[in-house]
Structure 1
Amino acid sequence: RGFFFSKLNFYKNLDNWNFFSVFNYVNNKFKENKLCFFLKQNFSYNTKGISFEKGNPLADIDSFSFHILNMKNLEKKFLANPNYMKYQNDINIKMRTILIDWLIDVHSKFKLALKTLYLTFNIFDRFLSVKNITRTKLQLLGITSMLMASKYEEIYAPETKDFVYISDNAYTKEDIFKMEALICSVLKFEFSYPSFIGFLANFLKRISAKKDTIYLSMYISELTVTEISLLKYPPSMIAISAIILARKFYWKLNENSLSLKILVP
């Protein structure tokens, strides 16, 4: 499921780690104002970006160095409501999880960029945070979200007919066009979502992370998309938490002795 899932299927004992405790640890220890202060102090404004060596798994990820403060200011604006299922009358968390899994497969078949996948999920969850939908339209919302994310992020985006085909003709092109217009109206054409990938790339470069830490951090971050309760955490928090958990996995660090002072204050 996804690029980093396939790369890291050998981490069988990852589930033994207390994943949620890491998020709680970071959330409690590094408050918003401290993180913001750290970003202002440690990230320079330049247009050169980050230079990753050949073969680095983050080499194809855009540099966000000179955008990082703007990303930090934007991320809260694009958070979905983690409790939106309480207000949905015809869908549930299990349906969301099944659809997310299917969309990951679709993303893989279309060979789309990672940032397209996460923008898809963000559009999907933000829409459901403010608009009720029936279960018969849930897949339509999913494929339309991916179509819109593709238009926003890809150079050569899949066509509408491709999404009609991938849904086994469950919907027509007109259905997708109508849903696309509705999404634009509900979300007010705001799709500049700063995903965790940009934050993660900068943080990993900051600590000169090795490939194993990079892959595991990406794997952990990717795990968050299926867990609706984690929608409350901003992308920067997910990125930091993933790195902490990856470091803990490799060096058996306890929560009170994480050697990440270079990363967080």
Structure 2
Amino acid sequence: MDLVCNENSTATCRAQRDRAIFEDVRVINNLLNEEMFAVPKCDYFQTVQDDIQPFMRKVVTTWMLEVCEEQMCEDQVLPLAINIMDRFLCVCCIKRQQLQLLGATCLLIASKLRSTNMLPIDLLCAYTDYSVTSIHVMSWELLVLSKLQWNVSAVTGFDYIDQVIERCGWGSESSLLRRHAHTLVSICYTGKSFDSSACKNMSYRS
């Protein structure tokens, strides 16, 4: 028996605007409250890490952004991956040689949570120029999850974009507005350090 998939991707139905989500102020209030549980607890450059400098974070997060762009990952993958990385660095001291491995691992975890197609481990290893192996990534996945007590879901700056755009009268004036807002928030996440409130404020201004 032949199994044939006859789905037509061009005819995919998309969800319409839900008034219960975009016209109820409790949604934003819940986002603000939930976000506090996933904000990095300290300035890990000062209190935890002794071999990692802020510019190294910028290099690795920019690399993570490039991977997500080349693989056309869903917009939520990058901010969640960086949030996971920041929270991990708040509780576990690592060497600078392990930072890209951590970034690849966080991309893997985030893609499992926020993407319909996870990033393959072999592909992530290739993006590191094979400086890490699949065994490294899999073992570090368990390390990251255990250090964060498997609490890897988080509210990120991207979660506010649609809420703000839908509530503004000019939100539907430009079809590029949402794309520009996503780009701006991505840039906020790839700095030398991550300020959750600053990133969120930038998303409100977009």
Q: TM bucket by the smaller chain? A: 0.7 to 0.9
Within 1, Cα distance between the matches of 2:160 and 2:141? 29
Residue correspondence of structure 1 range 1-265 to structure 2 within 5 A: 50=17, 67-81=27-41, 83-86=43-46, 87-208=48-169, 209=171, 210-211=173-174, 213-233=177-197, 238-244=199-205, 246=206
Question: Does the 8 Å contact 2:160/2:203 carry over to 1?
Answer: no
Question: Does the 8 Å contact 1:200/1:240 carry over to 2?
Answer: no
| CA apart distance, 1:101 | 1.0
Q: Secondary structure at the match of 2:160?
A: helix
Closer/same/farther in 2, CA of residues 119 and 171 from structure 1, 3 Å limit:
same
Amino acid at match of 2:54: I
Question: Does the 8 Å contact 2:157/2:203 carry over to 1?
Answer: no
Give identity over the alignment, percent: 24
Q: Could you report, residue by residue, the CA deviation over 1:201-221 in whole angstroms, capped at 9, with x for unpaired residues?
A: 111110132326545443432
Amino acid at match of 1:151: K
Question: Does the 8 Å contact 1:203/1:240 carry over to 2?
Answer: no
Within 2, Cα distance between the matches of 1:198 and 1:145? 19
Closer/same/farther in 2, CA of residues 232 and 196 from structure 1, 3 Å limit:
closer
**CA root-mean-square deviation:** 2.4
**Runs of 5+ consecutive residues of structure 2 not aligned to the other structure:** 1-14
| CA apart distance, 1:165 | 1.7
**Runs of 5+ consecutive residues of structure 1 not aligned to the other structure:** 1-47, 52-62, 247-265
Closer/same/farther in 2, CA of residues 176 and 214 from structure 1, 3 Å limit:
closer
